[in-house]
């Protein structure tokens, strides 16, 4: 079966890299450029997993996360925070929203991102 992944990322180059990678891995990739778009798409498409950037224009990742958690489907959605920040306060806030997975983009190989996503999907 094909997994549906939503990537919410404002940086085009990163978004493109991840999209290409996951398409290669036979994912159905949905893209969003900010939190607002991401939220809308998530609620409409109900992806299997969401890769969520934190720092974004319009609505940042954290706000989107909070909004999502208010939704019945969104409450249980699988989310991996994707960030350049290893921001402890944000991470602990996210943890309170049931998101324990986050990865710092520079610290990970792109293959490992895929692996992490697959692991998460298996949970």
Partner 1 sequence: MFLINLIIFLFLLLMVLMAYFLFKRLDKQIEATVIEQEKYFTLIKNIPGVAYRCKIDKDWTMEFISDPIEEITGFKATDFLGNKVRSFSSIIYPEDRQLVEDEIKKGIEKNENYDIEYRLLKVDGDLVWVKERGRAIYDWYGRPLFLDGVIFDISKDKEILAEVRDKSEELEKQKKAILNILEDVEQEKKKVEILANDLEKFKMAVDNVSDHIVITDPEGIVLYGNKVVEKITGYTLKEALGRKAGSLWRKPMAQEYYEKLWQTIKTSKKPFFGQITNVRKNGEEYEASISISPVLNNSGKVIYFVGIERDITQEKAIDRAKTEFVSLASHQLRTPLSTINWYAEMLLNGDAGKLQPEQTNYLEEIYRGNQRMVDLVNSLLNVSRMELGTFVVDPVDCDLKEIVDEVIKELTPRIKTKKQKFNLEYDVSLSPMKLDKKLMHMVLENLLSNAVKYTPEKGQIGMLIGKNKNNLEIKVSDTGMGIPFSQQDKIFTKLFRADNVRTTDTEGTGLGLYLVKNILEHSGGKINFVSQENKGTTFTVILPLSGMKKKIGTKSLT
Q: Which member of 20, 46, 75, 115 binds partner 1 (CB under 8 A)?
A: 20
The count of C-alpha atoms lying within 13 angstroms of the C-alpha of 43, restricted to the half-sphere facing its C-beta, is 13
Contact between 106 and partner 1 per CB under 8 A: yes
Helix (H) or strand (E) holding 2: none
Q: What's the token pair of residue 72?
A: 């019945």
Terminal Cα distance for the chain, rounded:
16
Nearer to partner 1, 18 or 99 (CB): 18
Contact between 14 and partner 1 per CB under 8 A: yes
The binding site for partner 1 (CB under 8 A) comprises 11, 13-14, 17-18, 20-21, 24, 84-89, 91, 104-107, 109-111
């Amino acid at each position: 079966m094909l997994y549906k992944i939503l990537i919410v990322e404002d940086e085009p180059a990163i978004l493109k890299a991840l999209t290409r990678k996951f398409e290669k891995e036979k994912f159905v990739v949905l893209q969003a450029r900010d939190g607002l778009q991401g939220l809308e798409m998530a609620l409409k498409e109900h992806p299997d997993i969401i890769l969520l950037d934190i720092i974004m224009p319009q609505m940042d990742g954290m706000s989107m996360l909070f909004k999502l958690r208010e939704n019945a489907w969104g409450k249980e959605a699988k989310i991996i925070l994707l960030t350049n920040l290893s921001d402890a306060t944000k991470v602990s806030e996210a943890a309170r929203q049931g998101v324990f997975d986050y990865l710092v983009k520079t610290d990970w190989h792109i293959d490992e991102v895929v692996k992490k996503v697959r692991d998460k999907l298996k949970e």
